[in-house]
């Protein structure tokens, strides 16, 4: 009865959760297993009712557990002697808390900027188009393909370069629920175009920013299932979607948590480049081969700057160059916002099929990185009221990457 009244109250407030997948009773646990204990827990990510929100690092992982699995989960923790704390008591109420903060801000600040809220796909396109109309000499917006559901995949080019400047390629929004990534990409575009103090970065570099690679999944996450991660292509057994960051043809489905279950949130697809979105990005970057010197994939959450390779503990020959630059970037963050630097096998887990590895190994982009953006108490679902407290520091880090490219490839 209390739950029914609570849901009715939310609907009366016109908070747009009534048509969203209901996560009432889902709990998020911060689990602290040893390496041996984790080995006995990791199979849960393949089972219905469990969703690993982070990967295992420094004896820590965050796991979302459905109500019908909570007794089983607690029994397993007790049996293994694993320490755990409850981070979110009820995910639905967590969403409501975020939504109410959003609504309150919208009422108090009707003229909000694009960085005080999470824009939908069309609003993002409208925003970048408005910038192109206002600054036609510096920015160009174009489509490099179509998503599974037919949405334009857009890339924003920002440059005043007159000669052959190195291409800085940034991509965000591969994973649908990581809303802070596309928001950050838009903020980077804003800074480059509208902040004159960044002119040197625009004059000497050719920026290509893909602010939302997975628009279908993003819209589905916004409007139907906030926890949705994958694309939205139809799969077998009534399942949908593929994990875009396991879909590239670089040790595809060879290492890591490889699954053949199409409903799994980490399903790599039935073959490499099965997805419109990953194929389109590959083909676009092929056209930049020899020009693109830098690639960054924006994800959340976890405070990591990830280096190649993701599929093996072996290192590329030039790893020290990449590490040196990453350390400069890491030092740009405040002391209470430390970023960990290393390869996925060192910090998280080994996995094949990532965009970062493909860009470096196959498309010859020397400086290829992934950033897992700021970890907060909110997990993936950072309230819009917190966005502008995160973005400026991330932009400073991006500018350090850019300065590194200017020093390495002077024009």
CB-based contact 172:210 (threshold 8 Å): yes
Alpha helices in 52-158 (DSSP H): 70-80, 91-108, 121-134
What pLDDT shows up at residue 386? Answer: 82
Rounded-to-integer distance, Cα 382 and Cα 386, Å: 7
Q: How does pLDDT run across 334-391, given as a tens digit for each residue?
A: 888 999 999 999 988 889 999 999 999 999 999 999 999 987 777 888 888 888 888 9
Q: Which residues contact 310 (CB under 8 A, 6 or more apart)?
A: 343, 344, 345, 350, 351, 352, 354, 356, 357
The three-class DSSP label of residue 149 is coil
Q: What is residue 104's predicted lDDT score, i.e. its pLDDT?
A: 65
pLDDT at residue 15 in the model: 43
Which tokens hold the place of 76?
């397993």
Round to whole Å and give the CA distance between 31 and 51: 13
Of the candidates 396, 381, 213, the one whose C-alpha atom is nearest the C-alpha of residue 298 is 213
Task: Return the SS3 of 110.
Answer: coil
Backbone phi, then psi, for 32, in 5-degree steps? Answer: -125, 70
Residue 299 parent element (H or E) = strand 292-300
Q: Could you tell me which of 70, 68, 59, 58 has the C-alpha nearest to residue 29?
A: 70
CB atoms within 10 A of CB 341: 18
Strand order in the sheet with 83-88: 50-52, 61-65, 27-32, 83-88
CB 333 within 8 A of CB 373: no
- Tokens (6 digits) for 99: 């939504």
Q: For the residues of 175-192, what is the DSSP string, one character each?
A: STT-THHHHHHHHHHHHH
pLDDT, one tens digit per residue, over 175-214 is 999 999 999 999 999 999 999 999 999 999 999 999 999 9
User: What pLDDT is recorded for position 101?
Assistant: 66
d(CA 44, CA 9): 35
Question: Which domains, and CATH codes, for the chain?
Answer: 14-102 (3.30.70.340), 121-408 (3.40.630.10)
Determine the pLDDT at residue 107. 55
**Beta-carbon neighbour count of residue 68 at 10 Å?**
10
Instruction: State which residues of the chain have pLDDT below 50.
Output: 1-15
> Is 157:202 a contact under the CB 8 Å cutoff?
no
List Cα–Cα distances, 359 to 65, 242, 277, in angstroms: 35, 19, 15
Taking the C-alpha atoms of residue 109 and residue 258, their distance in angstroms, rounded to an integer, is 46
Q: How high is the pLDDT of residue 403?
A: 97
pTM listed for this prediction? 0.91
Q: Are 294 and 167 in contact (CB under 8 A)?
A: yes
Give the pLDDT of residue 18: 66
Tell me, what's the pLDDT at 151? 98
The token pair at 176 is: 């649908």
pLDDT for 7: 44
Active site (annotated) includes residue 275: no
Of 178, 219, 372, 393, which one is the catalytic site residue?
372
Q: How many helices (H) and strands (E) does the chain have?
A: 13, 12
């Amino acid at each position: 009865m209390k739950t029914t009244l609570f849901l009715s109250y939310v609907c009366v407030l016109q908070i747009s959760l009534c048509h969203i997948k209901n996560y009432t009773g889902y709990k998020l646990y911060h689990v602290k297993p040893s390496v041996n204990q984790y080995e006995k827990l990791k199979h849960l990510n393949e089972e219905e009712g469990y969703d690993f929100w982070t990967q295992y690092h420094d004896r820590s992982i965050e796991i979302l557990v459905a109500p019908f699995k909570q007794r089983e989960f607690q029994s397993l923790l007790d049996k293994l002697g694993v320490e755990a704390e409850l981070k979110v008591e009820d995910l639905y109420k967590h969403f409501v808390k975020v939504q109410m903060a959003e609504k309150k801000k919208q009422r108090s600040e009707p003229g909000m900027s694009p960085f005080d809220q999470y824009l939908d796909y069309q609003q993002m396109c409208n925003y970048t188009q408005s910038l192109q109309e206002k600054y036609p000499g510096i920015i160009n917006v174009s489509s490099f393909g179509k998503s599974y559901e037919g949405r334009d995949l857009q890339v924003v080019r920002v440059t005043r370069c007159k000669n052959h400047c190195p291409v800085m390629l940034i991509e965000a929004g591969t994973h649908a629920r990581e809303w802070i990534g596309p928001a950050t990409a838009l903020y980077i575009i804003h800074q480059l175009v509208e902040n004159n103090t960044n002119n040197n970065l625009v004059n000497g570099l050719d920026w290509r920013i893909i602010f939302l690679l997975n628009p279908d999944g993003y819209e589905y996450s916004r409007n139907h299932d906030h926890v949705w991660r994958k694309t939205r292509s139809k799969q077998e057994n009534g399942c949908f979607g593929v994990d875009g960051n396991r879909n590239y043809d670089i040790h595809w489905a060879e290492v890591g948590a490889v699954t053949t279950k199409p409903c799994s949130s980490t399903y790599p697809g039935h073959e490499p480049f099965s997805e419109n979105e990953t194929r389109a990005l590959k083909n676009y970057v092929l056209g930049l081969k020899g020009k693109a010197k830098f690639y960054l994939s924006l994800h959340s959450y976890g405070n990591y700057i990830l280096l190649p390779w993701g599929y093996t503990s072996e290192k590329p020959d030039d790893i020290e160059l990449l590490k040196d630059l990453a350390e400069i970037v890491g030092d740009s963050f405040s002391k209470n916002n430390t970023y960990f630097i290393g390869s996925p096998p060192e910090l998280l887990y080994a996995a094949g099929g990532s965009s970062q590895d493909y860009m470096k190994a196959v498309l010859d982009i020397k400086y290829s990185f992934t950033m897992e953006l700021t970890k907060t108490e909110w997990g993936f679902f950072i309230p819009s009221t917190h966005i502008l407290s995160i973005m400026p520091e991330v932009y400073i880090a991006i500018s350090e990457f850019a300065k590194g490219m200017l020093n390495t490839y002077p024009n």
